[in-house]
Amino acid sequence: MANLKAIRQRIRSVQSTQKITRAMKMVAAAKVRRAQARVVAARPFTKGIVRVLSEVMAEVSPVDLQGLYLLERRNIKKVALIVLSSDRGLCGSYNSTIFREVLARVSALKAEGKEVALMLVGLKAVSFFKNIKVEKLGKPFTLLPAIPTVEEAKLIAGQASEYFTSGQVDAIEIVGTDFLSLLRSEVKNTRYLPVQMPKAEEQRPLQPIRLFEPSIIDVMERELLPKYIENTIYQALLEASASELAARMNAMTNASNNARDLISGLTLIYNKARQAAITQELLEIVAGAEALKG
């Protein structure tokens, strides 16, 4: 009976866990649809900013761009990596995949003789890199709202721009995820600063109806470049948020299915043990009756 009681308690425990994982799955599924819609809605604007910037840079002489610090190219001695992770767990291998990419990139840069520093976004990144001997720049960005906002992107972009323009780092990269579907996301390493010049085949002349006041350089310095660096971070945060929610939904789906299989197996074991106990009791009763007859 003690064994049967232990099995019953185990089944109840797994059933309680299954209820939690099912609830978390439903919450993540509801949120990921909205996150997916935000990602899809933001992509055209991001592509538009990149296209306009590419067209403008194609029309301007490289000499005229020398005063724009966000475009300044110098000998790369130190690289900063912006690591986009989550604040919460229970999302499968989402964070560990990003951290593996970061560690691989850090090793590659150090092998090239470059210094590496990290800008951390998310509590999981702070926890993971706490005991790893890599320089951390500034205060980490943690406990961000579940829905990324432009204000957060401006804060991260402003800090990154300050590190670059002040000469603390010579290049900045973003390590995050691209949301591909509800079942798949891809870790991506994006060159952030200095802003990449468009390739020759991507350069297209400005449309005659497009006018810039007071000048193209002023528009780039005051509008295009700030919007580009802010929107690049914002898009990366949106992609990371959708990828995290999709990973959590899939992880909770797998956990619920595993709990269902475990409950089924435990129920079978319980029924066999119960049947064995009943059979043993019947045998004892029959043996006792036979003994009384004798």
Looking at the annotation, which residues are catalytic? 91
**Rounded CA gap, 218 and 244, in Å?**
38
| Collapsed DSSP state (helix, strand, coil) of residue 85 | coil
**Rounded CA gap, 252 and 28, in Å?**
9
**Rounded CA gap, 32 and 52, in Å?**
31
Tell me 77's DSSP state: -
Strand 184-193 with 135-136, pairing: unpaired
Instruction: Return all residues near 11 (Cβ < 8 A) that are at least 6 apart.
Output: 263, 266, 267, 270
* Helices 2-59, 225-293: crossing angle, 10 deg rounding: 170
Structure token digits, residue 218 = 């002023």
Structure token digits, residue 75 = 């000998």
| Collapsed DSSP state (helix, strand, coil) of residue 13 | helix
